[in-house]
């Protein structure tokens, strides 16, 4: 049997090679044939999840809900100490110094990332801003969001905190954060689907053990490094369910 693994399309392009290395490591450890399918569209990936084409996934908290509650996926682990946070930035010369300075009718630049957009829109609520009274400029990536701020096209932009932190010094000197989320409980999670659990010949417990002890071997540790992770942290079923409950309070 051949399985398919995928990664939430919001992964940083720096780690594409890392995901291939992880897939090779996983195939060696499990003796299973696993094909890695990467998507650049959230919608196309969701279509394939709905069509039961995915068996293993590094999922964003948004999709984790559908995967766990509708598709019977099981949460295995999240990257140690990594949580998903968003930053709202403006041009560093601008007069905006807090969210409340932004007014109805302003333009917000975003990269196509539903999770960051959700957290970003929540952080705009105190300024009475919503999808109804702002113009959203949807761009391909975070560098383009920064450029839109620098060129004074958008008033504010949403960034994944990690992406903001990784921006060049030159870009960072031209934009300034006005608010950063500190949600700390919402995170990407590695999940396995019912087909993999039932047909791979590896029990959920053994798989969990394999992933969570990955950093203990030299090969595992270097593979994790290529993903930008220190190690995995176990996510049990209740932790994942609770994260989904929290996500549910954030989406309208």
Partner 1 sequence: MSTVELKYHDQSTSSREVSDEEVPYPEGKLIVSRTDTSGKITHCNQSFVDMSGFEENELIGQPHYILRHPDMPAAAFKDLWDTLKAGNKWKGYVKNLRKDGKYYWVYAVVVPNIRNGKVVGYASVRRKPSRTKVNECIALYKTMLAEEQS
Whichever of 132 and 218 has its CB closer to partner 1, that residue is: 132
| Minimum distance of partner 1 from residue 186's CB (angstroms) | 9
Whichever of 26 and 244 has its CB closer to partner 1, that residue is: 244
| Minimum distance of partner 1 from residue 57's CB (angstroms) | 22
| Minimum distance of partner 1 from residue 123's CB (angstroms) | 7
Read out DSSP for 216-248? Answer: GSHHHHHHHHHHT-S-EEE--HHHHHHHHHHHH
The 10 Å Cβ neighbour count of residue 145 is: 28
Whichever of 32 and 110 has its CB closer to partner 1, that residue is: 110
| Minimum distance of partner 1 from residue 9's CB (angstroms) | 25
Whichever of 49 and 123 has its CB closer to partner 1, that residue is: 123
How far apart are alpha carbons 165 and 133 in whole angstroms? Answer: 29
182: closest CA among 97, 129, 119? 119
16-30 vs 218-227: helix axis angle to the nearest 10? Answer: 150
Q: Return residues touching partner 1 (CB under 8 A).
A: 100, 122-123, 125-128, 179-185, 238, 241-242, 245-246, 248-250
Structure tokens at 207: 């798989």
């Amino acid at each position: 049997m051949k399985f398919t693994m995928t990664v939430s399309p919001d992964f940083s392009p720096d780690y594409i090679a890392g995901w291939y290395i992880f897939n090779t490591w996983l195939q060696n450890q499990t003796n299973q044939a696993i094909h890695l399918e990467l998507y650049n569209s959230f919608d196309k990936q969701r279509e394939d999840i709905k069509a039961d084409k995915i068996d293993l996934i590094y999922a964003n908290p948004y999709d984790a809900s559908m995967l766990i509650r509708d598709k019977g996926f099981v949460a295995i682990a999240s990257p140690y100490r990594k949580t998903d946070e968003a930053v709202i930035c403006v041009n560093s010369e601008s007069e905006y110094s807090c969210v409340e300075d932004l007014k109805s009718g302003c333009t917000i630049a975003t990269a196509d990332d539903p999770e960051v957009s959700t957290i970003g829109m929540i952080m705009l609520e105190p300024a009475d801003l919503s999808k109804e009274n702002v113009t959203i400029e949807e761009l391909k990536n975070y560098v383009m969001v920064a450029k839109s701020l620098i060129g004074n096209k958008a008033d504010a932009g949403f960034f994944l905190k990690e992406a903001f932190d990784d921006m060049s010094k030159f870009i960072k000197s031209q934009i300034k954060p006005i608010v950063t989320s500190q949600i700390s409980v919402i995170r990407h999670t590695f999940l396995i689907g019912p087909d993999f659990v039932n047909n791979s010949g590896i029990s959920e417990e053994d798989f969990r053990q394999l992933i969570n002890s990955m950093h203990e071997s030299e090969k595992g540790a270097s593979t994790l490094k290529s993903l930008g992770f220190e190690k995995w942290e176990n996510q049990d079923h209740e932790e994942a369910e609770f994260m989904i409950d929290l996500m549910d309070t954030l989406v309208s």
